[in-house]
Chains A and B, each alone.
Chain A
Amino acid sequence: MDSFLTPPIYFFLFLTTYFEVFMLVTYFEEKQKFKFVAAKERMPGKYPSVTIIVPAWNESTTISGTIDSLLELKYPKDKLTIFIIDDGSTDNTLEVARQFEQHPQVKVFTKENGGKFTALNLGLEHATSDLIGCLDADSYVANDALLEIIPYFDDAEIMAVTPSVQIHNPNNLLRRIQAAEYMIGEFSRKLFSRFNGLYVTPGPFSIYRRSIFAKIGGFIHAYSTEDMEMALRMQSHRMKIENAHAALVYTVSPATPLALYKQRVRWVSGFLKNAFFKYRHMFLNRKYGNLGLITLPFAFISIFISLFFCAMYVRSLFLLAYERYLQYSALGFHFTARWPQFDWFSLNLEFRRLLIYCLLFTTIFFILMGGRLVLRRFVVTRDMIYFMMFYGLIAPFWLIGSLIKFLSAKDVRWR
């Protein structure tokens, strides 16, 4: 069994190492871009007008917080407009939103339910500003988030800027694991942006130049991952996307295993469907640069690599548990009052294991760097430890679920 698995193990280890080395080389080349420079006051005429569209469907419990956080943004009031688009909610989302109409910045629209992308498109139809942003109605922005994002648009080639999305109030184990995951995600996104390899403009507070929608069109359903599709469409038109790591946005994350599973299956299967049914031509295509040659192929293959290593992790845990069971069934609760003796000889230092240790150290580096980007200091948090311990046990569920959903997709369009 082990000799049968040896070639794929080394293949996956090589690919993973290559990708991580690519990321690390990029980091050391672009280290300056990861620093924090306080957002400077701009000349009064240098603030572009911005419209933030908040699509909402049955978000009555969170939408006031979302709108409040937008109203508290440090940005000239006359340059910032907030569109609340009620997508035919069946709860009192509309009533809650209407309470904010007293603010001259806020405009509330309502329409029949048609999905998030239709709400966004209604906002696009009415917007006249230079920049357009989206914010999910369960997310909250830090008050300097927009000020951190705007300077990136000084570069005329930048067509969209993504923020640093983090978890709002991580108050249980599942959310804490996600909090660490989002921190690593931010470090990766920042790195991807350095080599123009971003393929998602997240729903929470990604900001676009309005002009791009005239060129490439509005949002589409895109298997319920319209933010990913928009980024892929922009990339397919060679439009540049940046990441503003200091622009913090907090989103409410799933609190239960089932909700998390559903969210991740939607994301991963959405990526697979968009990538394969619509943007397959970008894979391994030199024309699309690092996105086509590095990011997309690795994003795809990493699903299988993750599954493979998760399976190895689960197998090791199972064998350990089985050994403990045998020990228990042989001896019962038989404790000896001896200290465990450490012996260098018993440490597993064979080639494959050393490679895995090396990748593990890189992962820890990524976690710490992610923490530094978000918390602005090097720190080991409880969330990071939970992530290291449990992520490998829960991720296989949605990875397998996504593959099944992808393979059984009814609307397969290969051509």
Chain B
Amino acid sequence: MQQELNPKKYILVFLITLGVFAVIFLLSDFLYNRRITQVKGIEDTINRNILESEIQYALLADASCDTDETGNPVLVGEINNLTKRLAYMEEQRGTNDAEVISLKKYYSLLQAKDYLLVRERAKQCDDKPLSIIYFYSNAGNCDDCKKMGYVLTSMREDYDKLHVYAFDYNLGLSVVETLKSIYKLEDRFPVLIINRKAYYGFKTRAEIEAMIPELGRMTATSTKATTTPK
């Protein structure tokens, strides 16, 4: 049996405990910095992709409308990648974190670019773009926004030609502000823009499918799994 009172042991244990805290803190800091580096890498890729997409669009302008290039695969891949990481960052760091907001702005720009390309390509080919613009709010407790997120994510997964663009209503990005003023949006959430018309409140999958009859003619397919931020 050990001696009754052992101040040296108490101090040793205290120092080990501090050491454990310090090592875990450094490890967590290291891992977070690696993530930030990853995020910066994604942002750089986005910048390059936006440029690439403009070139791609210019090339597609000469292409026949029979080709199946109605979307922009480079951007879609990046959007999906970024969406997952953004959802994680939002959960971990909170919606007010500077890195999260910065990444969200890049995400919004990328989506806006994709939206424009899809729309232009559709106009060029006299086609109707299959897209949904979705505004959500992180302010307050918007359960309907979360539900809407699940529905849109599942639809994006099932219809590979459907483009879903999710924007944080309160992001303070000029592009988002412009979209808000174009569609004269009210502060009610969630809101969907389908065929240039705003729909407020939660909409079921069936309701959305009814709003976009083209989806009915399309066979639901499995593509890459993505998540839509709420």
User: Which residues on A are within 8 Å of B, measured CB to CB?
Assistant: 14, 17-18, 21-22, 25-26, 29-30, 193-196, 240, 242, 286, 289-290, 293, 323, 326-327, 329-331, 334, 336-338, 341, 343, 345-346, 348-351, 354-355, 358
Contacts and interface: CB of A to CB of B under 8 A. Distances in A.
B161 interface: no
Nearest to A329: B147
A30 B2 contact: yes
Contacts of A351: 24-25, 28-29
Interface in B1-49: 1-2, 4-6, 9-10, 12-14, 16-17, 20-21, 24-25, 27-29, 31-32, 35, 38
Contacts of B10: 293
Nearest to A2: B94
A200 to B, nearest CB: 17
Interface stretch (B56-64, B84-92, B109-117): B84-92
Contacts of B38: 345
11 contacts: A25-B9, A195-B2, A196-B2, A293-B10, A327-B147, A329-B147, A331-B151, A336-B225, A343-B84, A349-B27, A351-B24
Given A194-B1, A327-B150, A341-B225, A18 B17 contact: yes
A358 B25 CA distance: 12
Contacts of A18: 13-14, 17
A336 B221 CA distance: 10
Interface centre among A26, A289, A349 (most CB of B within 10 A): A349
Interface centre among B12, B14, B24 (most CB of A within 10 A): B24
Interface of B: 1-2, 4-6, 9-10, 12-14, 16-17, 20-21, 24-25, 27-29, 31-32, 35, 38, 84-85, 88, 92, 143, 146-148, 150-151, 154, 157-158, 202, 204-205, 222, 225
A162 to B, nearest CB: 14
A192 B213 CA distance: 72
A17 to B, nearest CB: 5
B13 A330 contact: no
A320 B27 CA distance: 27
B220 to A, nearest CB: 10
A290 B5 contact: yes
Contacts of B222: 336-338
A289 B28 contact: no
Contact of A346 (B88, B148, B202): B88
B13 A194 contact: no
Nearest to B9: A25
Nearest to B19: A21
A322 B58 CA distance: 47
A358 B5 CA distance: 28
Given A286-B5, A331-B151, A338-B157, A350 B92 contact: yes
Contacts of A327: 147, 150
A348 B146 contact: no
A196 B1 contact: yes
